[in-house]
C-alpha cells in the first residue's frame, strides 16, 4: 500500500508544488515594483480567479471520484460518459464566464476592499486573464480523469509545462518588455492553452479507445445527470465556502491597509506551499479510495486511508520544522521591501503552527472525494465557515488582536474542518466501512 500511495503521491506532490512556485514568481516580480499596490493587485486578482475557477473545481474533484470508482469496476462505458458529461459542463461554464465577465468584474471588485490603485491594477489583470477560462476548465476535467485512472504522470507533465511556460513568459514580459500586472496575466493565458493542447494529445495517445465507448443519448440520461449534478452541487457549495473563507481573509487584510495586505499575501505563499504539497497525498487518497470503493475492497480501502494520513501528516511536520528554521530568511524571496519583511516577521509563528495543526482537513478532503461523500464535505465546510466568522469576531472585536486575530481565526477554521470531518467519518453510518 505504501508503494501505491507513493507512486501516486510523488508525481502529485511535484505537480502541486509547481503551482505555488508560479505564485511565488508572481509575488516576487510584483513585490519588486515601485509600489506595494502591484503586489496587492495580483493578490486580489488571483483571489477573484480562485473564486471563479475553484467554483468550478467540482469538474476535477467530481470527475476523480466517479472515474476512480468506475475504474475499480472496470466500466469503460461509464468512464467515457463521465468525461464527456464533465467536458460539456466545462464548455458551458466557460461560455457563461466570457459572456458575463463585465458583471462578474463589477461584483467581484465591489465586494473586495482595497485602495483605488490596487483596484485599478487588479481590473487590468482580471480583463486579460478571463480569456483563459475555456482552457482552465477543460484542464480540470482532463486532470480529474487522469487521476481517476491512477495516472499521476500525465497531470505532472501538463502542470510542469503550464508553469514553465508561465514563469518564462512572466520574466520575459515583466523584465524584458517592462510590463506589470498585464504581463503576469498574459503569461497565464498563454500557458493555460499550451497545457490544454498537451492534455488533449496525452488523452488521445493513451485513452483514445474511450471515444468509441461514447453513447450520446446515454450521456444526458436523466438518472445519470441527476446523480452527476447532485454530487457536483455539494462539491460546489463546499468549494464556494472555502473560497469565501480565503476571500474573507484577503478582504480583512486589505481592510487593515496595503501594508497588511502585502504582508499577508507573502505569508499565504507559505501556506500554499504546504497545502499543495500535502494535497499530493490527498490526491493519492482520492484515486485509491475511489478505486477500492468501486471494487468493494474494504480492506485495502481502510489501509489506503490509514497510510495516506501517516504520509501526509509526516510531511506536514517537516514543513513546520523547515519554516521554523528557514521561514524568516525566505521572506526575502517574495519581496525586497524591508518594511514588508519586517512587518511580516511577527506573524511567522502562525506559518510554523499551521502545518502541524491545520493539515488534517487536506487529507480528509481527498478521502471524501474518492468516496464521493459530497454531503459530508459540504456540511463540514459550512459549519467550519460559521465557526471561522465567530472566531474572527471574538479575536478582533473582543480581544482586539488585529492581524494576529485574523491568522488565529484562519488556523481554527482549518482545525475545525479536520475535527468535524474526523467525527463524521467515525460516527456517521455511511462511513462504517468494515472489512466484510
> Domain of 370?
2-431
Q: Is residue 151 part of a domain?
A: yes
Q: Is residue 162 part of a domain?
A: yes
Q: Is residue 136 part of a domain?
A: yes
d(Cα 433, Cα 436) in Å, to the nearest integer? Answer: 8
Q: Give me the pLDDT at residue 436, please.
A: 41
18 closest CA partner among 196, 277, 229, 373: 277
Q: Which three cell numbers stand for residue 22?
A: 508560479
Q: Which three cell numbers stand for residue 356?
A: 502541524
Q: Is residue 231 part of a domain?
A: yes
What b/e string do you get for 397-422 counting C-beta neighbours within 10 Å, with b at 16 or more? eeeebebbbbbbbbbbbbbbbbbbbe
Contacts (Cβ under 8 Å, ≥6 apart) of 218 = 77, 81, 224
What does pTM read for this prediction? 0.75
Report how far apart, in Å, the C-alpha atoms of 83 and of each of 59, 66, 67, 291 are: 10, 10, 8, 17
What count of other Cβ atoms lies within 10 Å of the Cβ of residue 193? 18
Residue 410 has pLDDT above 90, yes or no: yes
What count of other Cβ atoms lies within 10 Å of the Cβ of residue 172? 13
Q: Is residue 175 part of a domain?
A: yes
Q: Which three cell numbers stand for residue 195?
A: 497545457
**Average confidence (pLDDT) over 60-87:** 87
Q: Give me the pLDDT at residue 435, please.
A: 40
pLDDT in tens, 162-202: 988 988 898 898 888 878 778 888 988 999 999 999 999 99
Q: Which three cell numbers stand for residue 34?
A: 515601485
What count of other Cβ atoms lies within 10 Å of the Cβ of residue 115? 17
Residue 24 has pLDDT above 70, yes or no: no
Within a 13 Å sphere around the CA of 410, how many CA atoms are in the beta-carbon half?
Answer: 27
Q: Is residue 357 part of a domain?
A: yes
Residue 20 has pLDDT above 60, yes or no: no
Q: Give me the pLDDT at residue 389, please.
A: 95
pLDDT in tens, 329-383: 888 877 777 888 999 999 999 999 999 998 999 999 989 988 888 888 899 999 9
Q: Is residue 436 part of a domain?
A: no
Please give the residue that has the higher pLDDT: either 293 or 28: 293
Q: Is residue 144 part of a domain?
A: yes
Percent of the chain with pLDDT over 70: 89
Q: How many domains does the chain have?
A: 1
Q: Give me the pLDDT at residue 61, please.
A: 81
Amino acid at each position: 500500500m505504501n508503494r501505491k500511495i507513493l507512486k501516486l503521491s510523488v508525481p502529485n506532490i511535484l505537480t502541486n508544488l509547481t503551482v505555488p512556485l508560479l505564485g511565488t514568481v508572481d509575488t516576487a516580480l510584483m513585490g519588486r515594483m515601485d509600489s506595494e499596490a502591484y503586489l496587492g493587485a495580483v493578490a486580489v486578482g488571483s483571489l477573484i480567479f480562485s473564486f471563479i475557477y475553484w467554483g468550478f473545481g467540482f469538474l476535477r474533484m467530481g470527475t476523480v471520484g466517479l472515474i476512480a470508482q468506475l475504474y475499480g469496476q472496470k466500466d469503460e462505458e461509464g468512464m467515457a460518459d463521465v468525461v464527456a458529461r464533465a467536458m460539456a459542463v466545462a464548455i458551458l461554464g466557460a461560455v457563461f464566464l466570457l459572456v458575463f465577465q463585465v458583471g462578474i468584474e463589477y461584483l467581484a471588485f465591489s465586494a473586495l476592499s482595497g485602495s483605488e490603485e490596487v483596484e485599478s491594477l487588479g481590473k487590468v489583470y482580471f480583463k486579460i486573464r478571463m480569456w483563459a477560462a475555456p482552457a482552465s476548465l477543460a484542464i480540470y476535467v482532463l486532470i480529474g480523469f487522469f487521476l481517476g485512472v491512477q495516472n499521476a504522470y500525465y497531470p505532472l507533465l501538463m502542470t510542469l509545462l503550464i508553469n514553465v511556460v508561465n514563469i518564462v513568459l512572466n520574466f520575459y514580459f515583466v523584465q524584458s518588455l517592462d510590463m506589470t500586472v498585464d504581463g503576469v496575466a498574459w503569461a497565464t493565458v498563454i500557458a493555460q492553452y499550451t497545457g490544454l493542447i498537451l492534455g488533449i494529445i496525452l488523452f488521445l495517445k493513451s485513452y483514445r479507445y474511450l471515444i468509441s465507448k461514447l453513447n450520446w443519448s446515454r450521456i444526458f440520461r436523466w438518472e445519470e445527470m441527476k446523480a452527476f449534478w447532485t454530487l457536483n452541487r455539494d462539491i460546489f457549495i463546499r468549494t464556494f465556502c472555502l473560497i469565501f473563507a480565503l476571500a474573507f481573509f484577503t478582504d480583512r487584510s486589505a481592510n487593515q491597509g496595503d501594508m497588511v495586505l502585502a504582508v499577508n499575501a507573502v505569508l499565504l505563499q507559505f501556506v500554499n506551499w504546504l497545502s499543495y504539497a500535502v494535497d499530493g497525498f490527498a490526491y493519492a487518497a482520492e484515486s485509491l479510495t475511489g478505486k477500492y470503493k468501486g471494487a468493494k475492497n474494504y480492506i485495502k480501502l481502510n489501509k489506503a486511508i490509514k497510510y495516506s494520513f501517516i504520509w501526509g501528516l509526516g510531511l506536514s511536520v517537516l514543513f513546520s520544522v523547515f519554516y521554523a528554521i528557514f521561514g524568516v530568511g525566505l521572506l526575502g524571496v517574495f519581496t525586497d521591501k524591508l518594511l514588508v519583511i519586517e512587518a511580516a516577521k511577527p506573524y511567522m509563528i502562525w506559518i510554523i503552527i499551521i502545518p502541524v495543526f491545520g493539515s488534517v482537513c487536506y487529507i480528509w478532503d481527498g478521502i471524501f472525494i474518492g468516496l464521493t461523500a459530497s454531503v459530508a464535505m459540504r456540511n463540514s465546510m459550512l459549519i467550519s465557515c460559521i465557526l471561522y466568522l465567530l472566531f474572527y469576531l471574538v479575536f478582533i472585536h473582543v480581544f482586539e488582536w488585529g492581524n494576529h486575530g485574523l491568522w488565529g481565526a484562519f488556523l481554527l477554521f482549518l482545525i475545525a474542518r479536520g475535527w468535524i470531518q474526523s467525527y463524521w467519518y467515525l460516527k456517521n453510518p455511511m462511513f462504517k466501512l468494515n472489512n466484510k
